[in-house]
Structure 1
Amino acid sequence: MQPMPRANWKGYLKIGELVCPVALYTAASKSERISLHMLNRETHHRLKRHYIDSETGKPVERDEQVKGYEIGKDEYLMLEPEEVAAAIPESNKTLTVSDFIPCNEIDDLYFDKPYYLAPADPRAGEAFVLIREGMREQNVAALAEAVLFRRVRMLLIRPEGVGLIATTLNFDYEVRSASEAFDEVPDMKIKGEMLDLARHIIGTKMGTFDPAEYEDRYEAALGELVKAKIEGRPIEAPKARPTAKVVDLMQALRESAGVKGKKGGRAAKAAKQPAAAKRKAG
């Protein structure tokens, strides 16, 4: 039997007068990634980080370090540790539900980090299942607020299997406007053979998402490198991946769809068939 994972946070889920003891557990973690440290090449000793005064070049000891807010070029407002501590909101260890909303109402741009939300006490099972099934029955998610890890956070809570998933949400000021990225996207319409080919290519690539099928190639290569060095095996240089060539868009679509010649072929005709059949049926 595997030991229970350590809870990141324990408190109460509060909906009106209904209170249920709950615990948050990390749902996605990067702790399994290979960790590399900085070493002295000559001694192989691990390096320690020191803060250096940008003007004098001298190291600054911990008890002389203080946080500051930049108010101008090379001008800072000094904040004492007790002042920063006073700004941290007091936690009452409660996830207070403010609203229930449709499950798909929030844009996933606002999703930050997922946690498993489970009962923190065996006696809380009935209340927990009641909340979970009530939400599942109505197909809703809960918006809740709590002080987590010294910050006020908003969370979206959704039913998942026999438990609940609580995802911390980014605040509006943290999500950048899409126009910053899409400002130069041309306003144009695509139609004809080009769109038919695109539909055909997408149709041939339709599938389902299985996270087990995807591999972190960097992590795998790094693991193999470490293993080879431990075993004293020669390190093989990675094969260079072919550079993508810039080609004519229509040519690229035809090659992707398996179409030969300038005026298309069976794949292009097949791509058009569903639309033609639909028009005929109408």
Structure 2
Amino acid sequence: MRAIWKGAVSFGLVSVPVKLYSATESHDVSFRQVHAKDGGRIKYQRICSIDGEEVPYSDIAKGYETEDGEMVVLDDEDLANLPTTSSREIAVEKFVPADQIDPMLFEKSYYLEPEGSAAKPYALLRQALLDANRMAVVTVALRQRTTTAVLRVRPTENGDVIVLQTMMWPDEIRVPDFTVESGEVKDAEVKMAKMLIETLAGDFDPSEFEDDYAEAVEAMVKTKIEGGEVKRTETSTKSGGEVVDLLAALQRSVEAAKTSRGESTPDENDGSGSKGSGSKGSGSTAKKSAAKKTATKKSAAKKDSSGGSGKSTTKKAAAKKSTTAKKSAAKKTAARKAS
């Protein structure tokens, strides 16, 4: 448990430094309002009832509605003038018999733990309350508002502990606006009712009672999960923590920045063949390499073709010269014979 308040119980000249812990917690089952189609949560907007427009938090103020329906708007200066206190004292006003306080007045319960060297005066107050069978009526400031409360001793598995229970103000207890007209109750009926009470009489053991509604809800939800009846929404996917999310966001930002500049990502440089940007990078590199090889082959083929054509032309020229020389020699021979 975590202490929510620190102060001191003072009675007479005795002061007992204590820590305050919340003694109760609600296990009530709560449901979310969701869209039946996809399980998305229903969101509510802050709409002004007069102009119908959404109101930002910065424009929201506190208002007090009068009995005739008028609204008085209070600003920060008005609220600062209200009586508040930051006292750290639990002041004992008086010790009263335990049966004089109506349980309906009790509101919230807190455990008191002695702090530092206050164990002995704490034990002294605890024993005095037990021996006198009384409760201490106190005033205490919680959340900057003074309220009344009682100190009483409660037995627990770890021993007797002083409990502080805040109380409602007397005017917060409503008076019923109805009366019960029961008519005459006969003595025989009263006798029979007493017999029934004696039959069901016993000591109170809270462990005998269970919240069957909460258990039934948990069992039903478990059955639906096992049957695959779960709406997978964005809000239902929990992350490993803010650090992981931050690293992932930074990595995506780096990749986006490099892509916009035409640079390769780390996955592309390492040549990994996994799905994603790394696979695309590897494929792109392979295509470029293949294209380069093809271009090299074409260039070589062109050079080979060009070289072969030159040799053929040289041979043809040599053959032409040989034929011309033969014809010239034949003409000279014929001319000599004729002369």
**Smaller-chain TM-score range?**
0.7 to 0.9
State the partner residue of 1:130. Answer: 124
Confirm or deny: 8 A CA contact 1:12 1:94 kept in the other structure.
yes
Distance 1:175 1:227, change over 3 A: same
Runs of 4 or more, structure 1, over 4 Å off, are: none
Confirm or deny: 8 A CA contact 1:34 1:223 kept in the other structure.
no
Per-residue deviation, residues 253-281 of structure 1 (Å, max 9, x unmatched): xxxxxxxxxxxxxxxxxxxxxxxxxxxxx
Three-state SS of the structure 2 residue aligned to 1:203 is helix
What is the RMSD computed on CA atoms of the aligned residues? 2.1
Confirm or deny: 8 A CA contact 1:142 1:156 kept in the other structure.
yes
State the partner residue of 2:220. Answer: 225
Flag structure 2 segments of 5+ consecutive residues without an equivalent.
230-339
Confirm or deny: 8 A CA contact 1:159 1:165 kept in the other structure.
yes
Identity over aligned pairs, percent? 31
Q: Distance between the aligned counterparts of 1:86 and 1:160, measured in 2?
A: 39
The question of 1:65 aligning with 2:60 is answered yes
Shift of 1:168: 0.6
The question of 1:44 aligning with 2:56 is answered no
State the partner residue of 2:8. Answer: 12
Q: Distance between the aligned counterparts of 1:49 and 1:153, measured in 2?
A: 34
Confirm or deny: 8 A CA contact 2:35 2:41 kept in the other structure.
yes
State the partner residue of 2:316. Answer: none
Three-state SS of the structure 2 residue aligned to 1:13 is strand
The letter for the 2-side match of 1:52 is: I
Per-residue deviation, residues 95-124 of structure 1 (Å, max 9, x unmatched): 1111111122111121111111121x2311
Which of 167, 170, 189 in structure 2 is aligned with 1:169?
Answer: 167
Q: How does 1:26-45 map to 2 (within 5 A)?
A: 26-30=22-26, 32-45=27-40
State the partner residue of 2:106. Answer: 111
Per-residue deviation, residues 157-206 of structure 1 (Å, max 9, x unmatched): 012233201111111110112xx25x321264312432232222222211
Confirm or deny: 8 A CA contact 1:91 1:146 kept in the other structure.
no
Confirm or deny: 8 A CA contact 2:85 2:145 kept in the other structure.
no
The letter for the 2-side match of 1:230 is: I
State the partner residue of 1:214. Answer: 209
Larger radius of gyration: 2
Shift of 1:42: 4.3
Three-state SS of the structure 2 residue aligned to 1:6 is coil
Q: Distance between the aligned counterparts of 2:39 and 2:189, measured in 1?
A: 59
TM-score normalised to structure 1 length: 0.73
Confirm or deny: 8 A CA contact 2:9 2:16 kept in the other structure.
yes
State the partner residue of 1:261. Answer: none
Shift of 1:228: 1.4
Per-residue deviation, residues 106-152 of structure 1 (Å, max 9, x unmatched): 11121111111121x23111111111112222222111101112321
Flag structure 1 segments of 5+ consecutive residues without an equivalent.
235-282
- Which of 84-93 and 19-28 deviates more? 84-93
TM-score normalised to structure 2 length: 0.61
State the partner residue of 2:151. Answer: 157
Per-residue deviation, residues 49-90 of structure 1 (Å, max 9, x unmatched): 321111222211100111111236553111013422431512
- Which of 151-160 and 76-85 deviates more? 76-85
Q: Distance between the aligned counterparts of 1:35 and 1:224, measured in 2?
A: 15
State the partner residue of 2:318. Answer: none
State the partner residue of 2:319. Answer: none
User: Larger relative contact order (C-alpha < 8 A, sep ≥ 6)?
Assistant: 1
State the partner residue of 1:140. Answer: 134
Distance 1:188 1:41, change over 3 A: closer
Q: How many pairs are equivalent?
A: 225
